[in-house]
Structure 1
Amino acid sequence: MHSLTLNSDNREEVAAALAGERWIVACLCAAWCGTCEAYRATFEELAARHPDKFFVWIDIEDHADVVGDLDVENFPTLLIQHHELVAFFGTMLPDVNVAHRLVQSTVAQSDHELQEQINNNADRARWQRECNLRTLLRAAL
């Protein structure tokens, strides 16, 4: 497996990985969601294409104490973060090539460019307050 699935036994391991320098790509899903189940193989393929990034699969119902306040409207939802900057938060088409292009274009941006987008976009500014996976996981530990 190229991604890690968040569970009650590995929260500290995931928190340590999130605190590192690598880009974070998280898939927010639900066990009952058939689309998410089908997307799992796509997410693994995406992780294999980007071994320098940290990929984590999070069931939002099993880990509601971590992500309970996130407004996940549809599945699968991807969250892409670098350091404390949430660069992307949204629903993803279950197509590995679309996800691959999204990851490539997102990580091609510098932290300065990401900060400019955050400063000029209310939704992106809200992501910083509500969707920062590092902050959410630290609060749950």
Structure 2
Amino acid sequence: MSYQRLDQTNRRQLADALRNDTWVVACLCAAWCGSCREYDIAFNAWAARYPQHHFVWIDIEDQADLVGDLDIDNFPTLLIERGATVAFFGPMEPDTRLAERILLSQLEKSDADLQREAISTEERRTWQEECNLLAKLADVI
């Protein structure tokens, strides 16, 4: 499955994808947000173009126990992770073109490059500690 809405029944599937070193693209949104509802259509279409990756829609209120105190300043917020390495975390314009370019640039990197980047700045080190979906899932499933 390339696209899913995260709920209590499919968290293990997301964790398995991450454990299998699959690229995960997570959109962190809220049902009440108009921009998120618009982005959902484009996000779903984007997921259809990349079925080899795992796209997941995470409603931050419905999944509050998973998201925890993750600092989400704006919607939509995108999290791109492979295995236990967070490659990107941040707000996006409600258009998938920039997000797709970010994903494609990550896909081109070697494992060594991803690991080097993951610890290259204070911000990226914080992503590894606070935004890691695999670690967060381990706490709730």
Give the TM interval when normalised to the shorter protein.
Answer: over 0.9
1:28-47 alignment, distance < 5 Å = 28-47=28-47
1:73-112 alignment, distance < 5 Å = 73-112=73-112
- Contact 1:2/1:44 (CA < 8 Å) preserved in 2? no
Q: Single out whichever of 12-21 and 103-112 deviates more from structure 2.
A: 12-21
Distance 2:16 2:140 in 1: 13
Q: Secondary structure at the match of 1:24?
A: strand
Instruction: Please tell me the residue identity of whatever aligns with 1:23.
Output: W
Distance 1:38 1:50 in 2: 20
Distance 2:140 2:130 in 1: 14
Give the TM-score taking structure 2 as reference length: 0.93
Question: 5+ unaligned residues in a row in structure 1: which ranges?
Answer: none
Matched, 1:61 2:65: no
Moved over 4 A (4+): none
- Contact 2:2/2:50 (CA < 8 Å) preserved in 1? no
- Contact 1:45/1:96 (CA < 8 Å) preserved in 2? no
Cα deviation, residue 118, structure 1: 2.4
Question: 5+ unaligned residues in a row in structure 2: which ranges?
Answer: none
Counterpart for residue 49 of structure 1: 49
Instruction: Please tell me the residue identity of whatever aligns with 2:51.
Output: P
